[in-house]
Amino acid sequence: MAAEKKQVQVQLDLPSDLEAIYSNLAVISHTPSEIFVDLACLLPNLPKAKVHTRVVMTPLNAKLLQQALAENLRKYEAQFGEIQLPPGGIGASLVGGNGPLTP
């Protein structure tokens, strides 16, 4: 007999003074046990981008985040239309090396 899955409601405490940070660049790296996502804002004609946020998670949580992002992008595109990628795909967005992506 299959075990029943029980959904748990989680209440998030969103502080009123929480500052939203815009990011158009993500550098993703990993170790055997963790995934690191550095979020930054790259401005035109400036060779440097300051990392504003570093998110560290387990590979399992990174995979769950990937699934949640995919589901939300499907819903977004169903409502607003397909998001167009740059010509050449992801490789055309590489800023250098093997990590940073820009829109």
Rounded Cα distance between 60 and 54, Å, is: 17
Closest-CA residue to 26 (of 54, 46, 4, 6): 54
Tell me the pLDDT tens digit for each residue of 19-32.
999 999 999 999 99
pLDDT tens string for the chain (103 positions)? Answer: 566 778 889 899 999 999 999 999 999 999 999 999 999 998 888 889 999 999 999 999 999 999 999 999 999 999 999 999 888 766 545 444 344 444 4
The model scores a pTM over 0.85: no
pLDDT above 70 coverage of the chain, percent: 83
Rounded Cα distance between 21 and 39, Å, is: 9
